[in-house]
Structure 1
Amino acid sequence: MNPSFKFILALIISVEISLRSSLLTNFLIIFFALGYLICKHIKLSNLLLTLLMPLIAAFTVFATLYWFSPQPNLQNALSLSSRIYVYTLTIYCVSIDTTATEFARSFEQNFHLPSKFAYGVLAALNIVPRMKEAVKQIRTAGMMRGVYLSFWSPVLYFKAILVALNSAENLAQGMASHGYRENAKRSVIAAVPVKKSDWLQSIAILVLVNLALLTLK
């Protein structure tokens, strides 16, 4: 499915789940999302981590609404706490087989996202590994001089900011040297088309979700 359609579909489902309470619908979405992730051959460790990370938030919501509420309602507490897993798993289904580059290209071509924003996001994501390596080099250089820069040291982050500014300047010069112009018309290297199957799949999923919300409690 088209990356933009997957993102918008997950967003619409999340909004609808937030507006209407349906415990069975939440469980059905969680079940099908887990099935989809398993079909994508997700690693067991990643799947367990995905299920464990929202557990604290879901348990907190459940405990607040059921144990500490003057009028406890088990179904309402389960419905609201299970929404956290719906949000987490649907977003994971969107991102599991789609890279940030594909998202940026899809939003730029299909939803006319400004190219400067799309390329800016990609630049920010691609610079993160370099920043991690730069921080390690700064800490190593400090230790060689007998200076230990801790994780919360302002000196470490000040130097990291200087490295980031220098990298941003180099990136801007590199894009300009490759012919990038902000308002100029750009050619497409890798087209991300919208197919009829994207519309059909999105409409079918939305219809099923809305039927479940209207008929199931």
Structure 2
Amino acid sequence: MNPSIKFILVFIISLEISLKASLTTNSIVIVCALLYLLWHKISLKDLGLLLTVPLIAAFTIFATLYWFSTKPDHYYAWVLASRVYAYVLSIACVVKTTIAAQLARSFEQNLHLPSKFAYGALAALNIIPRMQMAVKRIRTAAMMRSVYLSFWSPILYFKAILVALSSSENLAQGMESHGYVEGKERSAIIKIPLTSNDWCIFVLILFLFNICLFIFR
């Protein structure tokens, strides 16, 4: 499915389940999301994290509404707890099956997002590994001078900001040297097609979801 359509579908589903309480629909979304992730061969480690990390938030919500409320509501407690997993797993269907570069290119080509935002997002994502390596080099250089820079040290972040500013200037010069001009139309090396099949799947899934949402409790 087209990345933009997939993102919009997950956004609409998340918005609708937040407006209407339906434990059955939440369960269906969770099961379908798990099957989709397994179909795309998600690793057991990532799947385990997706199931265990939201457990704290889901359990807290359930305990607050069921055990610590003046008027315990068993059903509504399960609804809100299941929403946590529905949100996390549905978003994981986009994150775990779509490359960030594909999503940014799809936003630019299919949703007509300005190129400066698309390229800016790609630049920010691509610079993260470089910043991680820069922070490691800064800490290593400091340790060679018998200075330990902790995670919350302002000196570490000040030096990291200087590295980021230098990298941003190099990136801007590189984009200009490759012919990037803000506001001008650009040709796409990698096309992200938006076909009629994508729209058919989008409408079908949304139609079936709304039937479940307004029929089942």
CA distance in 2, matches of 1:97, 1:72: 39
Aligned residue for 1:64, secondary structure, equals helix
Shift of residue 68 of structure 1? 1.1
- Count of residue correspondences: 217
With the length of structure 1 as denominator, give the TM-score of the two structures.
0.98
Partners in 1 of 2:183 and 2:41 — Cα distance?
A: 42
CA distance in 2 between partners of 1:214 and 1:139 (Å): 56
Q: For residue 45 of structure 2, what is the aligned residue in structure 1? A: 45
Q: How does 1:1-217 map to 2 (within 5 A)?
A: 1-217=1-217
> Sequence identity, in percent?
62
Distance in 1 (alpha carbons) for counterparts of 2:89 and 2:38:
12
Runs of 4+ in structure 1 over 6 Å off? none
Q: Structure 1 residue 123: deviation in Å?
A: 0.4
Shift of 1:115: 0.3
Shift of 1:69: 1.1
1:121 alignment partner, SS class: helix
Q: Distance in 2 between matches of 1:184 and 1:73?
A: 57
TM-score using structure 2 length: 0.98
Inter-partner Cα distance in structure 2 for 1:181 and 1:19: 43
Distance 1:125 1:41 in 2: 24
Unaligned stretches of 5+ residues in structure 2: none
Q: Residues of 1 paired with 2:5 and 2:185: CA distance?
A: 24
CA distance in 1, matches of 2:177, 2:41: 41
The one-letter amino acid paired with 2:64 is T
- Offset of 1:42 from its aligned partner? 1.0
Q: Which segment is superposed worse, 96-105 or 158-167?
A: 96-105
Alpha-carbon distance in structure 1 between the residues aligned to 2:97 and 2:46 = 14
**Deviation by residue 1:112-154 (Cα, 9 ceiling, x = unmatched):** 1000010001100110000000000001101111111111110
Cα RMSD after superposing both structures: 0.7
1-structure distance, mates of 2:40, 2:193: 22
